[in-house]
Amino acid sequence: MTTPKCRWPWAAWLLLPLVVGCQVPAMMPGGAADPFVAGHGVPPQIPVDPGAGPQHPAAGEVVNRVAPPHEPPAPAPIPRELSKVSLPLYTVGPPDVLLVEAIKTVPKEPYKIERLDQLQIQVEGALEDRPIQGTFAVGPNGTVDLGPPYGLVKVVGLTTEEAREAIEETLNEILQQPLVTVSLAQPSAVQQITGEHLIGPDGTINLGTYGRVYVNGKTVAEVQEAIEERLSEKLEDPEVAVDVFSYNSKSYYLILEGFERGDAIRRTPITGNETVLDAIAAANGLSTTSSRTRIWVARPSPDHGPDQILPVDYHGIVMRGDTSTNYQLMPGDRVYIAEDRLSTFDATIGRLIAPFERLFGFSLLGAQTVQTLNRFPQGFRTSPFF
């Protein structure tokens, strides 16, 4: 009688480690044991008797000490509609528009009168019906007009004291011992400082005779300091007020995918309070070919790390008021709205069959034309080609 052979010899080998109390290490490709699978990455420890005293390792014995698990820092929460954050301190750049207002502009002595300056002139002893008192502008020709019968006096390039002497000399021809007082009411350079200044492509603003000031990448306070430092070359302790008149350098992008018409990209300056729904509303909503389920925000990483892709639940936002995916937009964000798949398929089919439709339509038109002409008495039947 033949002895039956064991049908499962491998079962004994698998049960053998369990019998002797050993563990079978998980194997990685190549035969190496995976430490994170066989023991979950924790080295084996020797059980310690609670009642025993302190144990000291024997000479030459290696003791495995378990390091506390290192937990990665929790990612910062993503700002949303109901949990918005303030954007970092704004730094200006092209093509922002700055509003500069001159508060204190006292020229350094000795100041030479320039064209378009405003002079405060007062004359005692003038004619009663022709008084000279008030503010007079220096004309483009470099003179001030005192009115008839006094005439014009050239003052450009003179100090206020020299201008007083020139005016007094002119009035001595008409008046007897006039007393003239001249002071600078407002230099013409104030008009070049005060107003709106566009930041050029080179990152500077133009202050006229005071030159250009580099402001790219600076905060408003830093821009104020840079302007005052440049003005201090010709003015005594100048003071200016600076604000951003138009925010143009920081923006987000809305990309509408379009199969036939091409992608539409809209750049919108950011003010720090926009959300995904605001971006869609600024584009007058979604088109009939836009997908409602394939919308996301692509946020570039400032440290050249992996970019963030934030899926958007459009139906949840507009139908249920769910704000969990109505993200607050940051400078440089791309709100991507993909095209509807069915619309893409329909457009693809239309482009494939359009040449055949034109060909068959042309053939049918030609055949109908021939049939119509054959109804006439002569037609094409007399032709040898038909």
Element (H, E) at 361: helix 341-374
User: Do residues 117 and 187 make contact, with C-beta atoms less than 8 angstroms apart?
Assistant: yes
**Which residues pair with residue 328 across a beta bridge?**
275
Largest CA distance in the chain: 158
Beta strands in the chain (DSSP E): 97-107, 118-124, 133-137, 143-145, 152-154, 179-186, 195-198, 204-206, 212-214, 235-246, 251-256, 264-269, 290-299, 308-312, 334-339
Q: Give me the pLDDT at residue 17, please.
A: 46
CATH of domain 251-339: 3.10.560.10
Burial class (CB within 10 angstroms; exposed 0-12, middle 13-18, buried 19+) of 38? middle
CATH for 112-186, options being 3.40.50.410, 3.60.15.10, 3.30.230.10, 3.30.1950.10: 3.30.1950.10
pLDDT along the chain (386 residues), means of 10: 49 46 42 41 45 51 54 75 92 95 88 90 90 92 91 92 92 90 87 92 92 95 96 92 94 84 87 93 87 93 81 95 95 92 74 77 74 65 53
Q: Where are the domains of the chain?
A: 112-186, 251-339
- State the Cα–Cα distance between residues 152 and 135, nearest whole angstrom: 15
